[in-house]
Amino acid sequence: MSQAKTIWVTQPSLAPLKEFLPYLRQIWKTGVMTHNGPLMQRLERELAAFLGVPDVACVANGTCAMQVAIRALDLAGEIITTPFSFIATANVIAWERCVPVFVDIDPATWNLDPDLIEAAITPRTSAILPVHVFGRPCDTERIDGIARRHGLKVVYDAAHALGVQVAGQSVLLRGDVGCASFHATKIFNTCEGGACVSADPALMARIRRLRFFGFDERKEIVDGGMNAKMTEISAALGLANLAHLPEVMATRRRKYELYRHELADCPHVRFQAYRPDEYNFCYMPVLFDSEERLLAAERELQRRHIVPRRYFHPALDTLGIFGQRDALPISRRVAACILCLPLYTKLADAQIKRICAIVATC
Ligand SMILES: Cc1ncc(COP(=O)(O)O)c(C=O)c1O
């Protein structure tokens, strides 16, 4: 496939190079490349201000953010989670010696179904780890309420949800910890990166120790930590990119709405249920009426050098690597029938119209 004319599912949103270079000059001048450096501290402050949250702790990636959160909350035993997610969501649970217990999703929002959570709680359950999939917030009121009633913690996988607000507040503040990803494919990127957000200062202090091998401010090892530090180069890219985030979000929203307009009369695709003021338009997922039609559309697009992605297929409970092979019917069907179409700021409107015409005729 020719690289030049290929339309990939996404492309990173990058600030102009000339805005990145002054930060790099600063790194070259000071020689500080990592270890709680000044650029990472500045990025934490600027992100907290942008999001309207009291504190942000940056880490090496979104996967580490969840791992550190699980460790900071001393979780053990079973953690209830969704099978409709990226593999990292279940992996971190297993890596932290807990057992993922998969519960099915809501057919309209594609998020963990709050109606099914309580039936999965056992005396071994310590937490719920839902995902705001494609930036669509979970029903956090109900999930956090269930957790409170049963004495459980909640860690939200908010890898997709940066910039999403619920009732005027960042969704990252819901639950005990919100974990964001700043991977190159995300709406805001630091190349690789992520962050934990919590309103609890003691928990944030522990997260900061755990991301740095368990060292405290006096450089004494006081906790069983890991290496989850964000580098200064990543923080530099984050600072340059953050200045453009509002414009990136507005452009993606316009492009998402163009897709919806172009596919409005297409009888064989449906969309994720969302509220426009509580969504960040970070992906363009469409749900086909059958897997056969999805495969036909994928083939037709690829033949024309357009590369959509099957996020997230197959459903995690069907992998068999987490010791559970439940037949959770909604997530299995949704995972089989969702295709994410290309969406990024530089994608031309004419390209979107072409993609929609292909999808509509499959
Ligand atoms: C739902 C979800 N959770 C977690 C992650 C992991 O994030 P990272 O790649 O920053 O480790 C991803 C990554 O793409 C994701 O899509």
pLDDT interval class at 326 (50, 70, 90): low
Q: Rounded distance, CA 145 to CA 101, Å? A: 19
- The answer to whether residues 231 and 256 belong to one domain is no
Q: What integer pLDDT is reported at residue 353 of this predicted model?
A: 98
pLDDT confidence of residue 5 = 86
What is the DSSP annotation of 184-243?
Answer: TTSSS--SS-EEEE-S-HHHHHHHHHHTBTTB-TTS-B-S---B-PPPHHHHHHHHHHHT
- Between the CA of 194 and the centroid of ligand 1 the distance, in Å, is 9
Quote the pLDDT of residue 327.
Answer: 75
pLDDT category at 323 given cuts 50, 70, 90 is confident
Asked if 231 and 310 sit in the same domain, the reply is: no
> Could you tell me the distance, in angstroms and rounded to a whole number, from the CA of residue 86 to the centre of ligand 1?
6
Mean pLDDT on 334-352: 98
Give yes or no: residues 292 and 193 share one domain: no
Are 223 and 210 within one domain? yes
Rounded to the nearest integer, the mean pLDDT of the chain is: 97
CB-based burial of residue 5 (10 Å sphere; 0-12 exposed, 13-18 middle, 19+ buried)?
exposed
What ligand 1 atom has the least distance to the C-alpha of 133?
Answer: 1
pLDDT (tens digit per residue) in 265-321: 999 999 999 999 999 999 999 999 999 999 999 999 999 999 999 999 999 999 989
Residue 1: pLDDT band with limits 50, 70, 90: low
Give the per-residue pLDDT at 208: 98
CA 85 / ligand 1 centre spacing (Å):
9
Determine the Cα–Cα distance for residues 57 and 362; give it in Å rounded to an integer: 45
Expressed as residue numbers, the domain containing 238 is 17-242
What pLDDT digit, counting tens, does each position of 205-263 carry? Answer: 999 999 999 999 899 999 999 999 999 999 999 999 999 999 999 999 999 999 999 99
**Where is average pLDDT lowest: 4-8, 182-186, 358-362?**
4-8
Q: Sorting pLDDT into bands at 50, 70 and 90, what band is 324?
A: low
Residue 7 falls inside a structural domain? no
What are the pLDDT digits (tens) for 116-137?
999 999 999 999 999 999 999 9
92 CB within 6 A, ligand 1: no
Averaged over 179-195, what is the pLDDT? Answer: 98
Q: Is 67 in the pocket of ligand 1 (CB under 6 A)?
A: no
Domain boundary (183, 216, 242) is at 242
Q: Is 62 in the pocket of ligand 1 (CB under 6 A)?
A: yes
Q: Using the atom order of ligand 1, give the atom closest to the CA of residue 186.
A: 14
Tally the domains of the chain: 2
CATH number of 201's domain: 3.40.640.10
In a domain, 1, yes or no: no
Ligand 1 proximity of 228 Cβ (cutoff 6 Å): no
Q: Could you tell me if residue 120 is inside a domain?
A: yes
Res 3: pLDDT: 57
CB of 238 closer than 6 angstroms to any ligand 1 atom? no
Closest CA to 152 of 178, 117, 125: 125
b/e code 68-83 from CB counts within 10 Å (16+ = b) = bbbbbbebeebbbbbb
Mean pLDDT of 22-42: 97
Question: 276 and 204: one domain?
Answer: no
Question: Does ligand 1 lie within 6 Å of residue 81's CB atom?
Answer: no
63 CA → ligand 1 middle, Å: 6
Residue 2 pLDDT greater than 80, yes or no: no
